[in-house]
Amino acid sequence: MRPAWVDAVHLGGFVLRVLLKASRTPRCERVLDGMVLVSRAVSWDGGSVVGLLGVVVCAAGPAGGVGELVSLAQGRGWDVQVIATPSALDFIDVEALERQTGNPVRWRYRKPGEPRAPLSDAIIVAPATYNTVNKWAHGISDTYALGVLAEAPGMGTPIVVLPFVNSALAGRHAFKESVSTLRSEGVRFVTGYGERPPRSEGDDRFPWELALREVERAG
């Protein structure tokens, strides 16, 4: 049975994140990160917080709907932090996502002396672009998102990728090789989405829930 103070820590961390967002200082960040670490350390019995889910969002059409994945994950008990590529910032509403998650949207490397971001317990990359998948597979780490992804397989973090690339890009040898390389390192791909002909329009839903289901299987 989880003691009541554990729930108080979870709730306190969440409320503090929301309240201090506007006046965030390095000291506040450290207090918040400490609370996150404590809350993760004590959520041993499958209680209200499953863990911290990192959602890496890239610059592709469905990115603007990533709040849907956040809601689904929160409904399953995850605390969520969104990690955006710099290009994805044009596609997402950063303030809305910070309000929704209670966590900062991280998109650039911290400056020396700034506190580290908390490590994710599991990661979903969605939508994943041709660009990010290929760079990741080749060890490139020139965005914060790629830096997180570069380390995660070696740390045993479950990772699920939901690409959104058209059929011309999905068929390229480079992309297929990248998927295969990452799979060989334990990264799970849910493929076959967004593979419509280049420059065509489409309004089919992006299946965020498949990524969430897969990451829960992987964990």
Ligand X SMILES: Cc1cc2nc3c(=O)[nH]c(=O)nc-3n(C[C@H](O)[C@H](O)[C@H](O)COP(=O)(O)O)c2cc1C
User: Which among 64, 67, 80, 60 has a CA at the least distance from the CA of 17?
Assistant: 80
Min CB(178)–ligand X separation in Å = 12
Min CB(146)–ligand X separation in Å = 8
- The number of beta carbons lying within 10 Å of the beta carbon of residue 21 is 16
User: Which among 22, 190, 205, 206 has a CA at the least distance from the CA of 98?
Assistant: 22
Min CB(163)–ligand X separation in Å = 7
- From candidates 88, 170, 182, 212, binder to ligand X by CB under 6 A: 88
Q: Does 130 bind ligand X (CB under 6 A)?
A: yes
Cα–Cα dist 76/210, whole Å: 13
Considering only the stretches 15-23, 38-46, 106-114, 126-134, report the one whose residues sit in contact with ligand X under the rule CB under 6 A. 126-134
Contact flags string 43-62 toward ligand X, x per CB under 6 A: ---------------xxxx-
Q: Does 129 bind ligand X (CB under 6 A)?
A: yes
Tokens 């979903």 locate to 124
- From candidates 70, 82, 165, 179, binder to ligand X by CB under 6 A: 165
The DSSP element (H or E) to which 156 belongs, if any, is none
Half-sphere exposure of 195 (CA within 13 A, CB side): 11
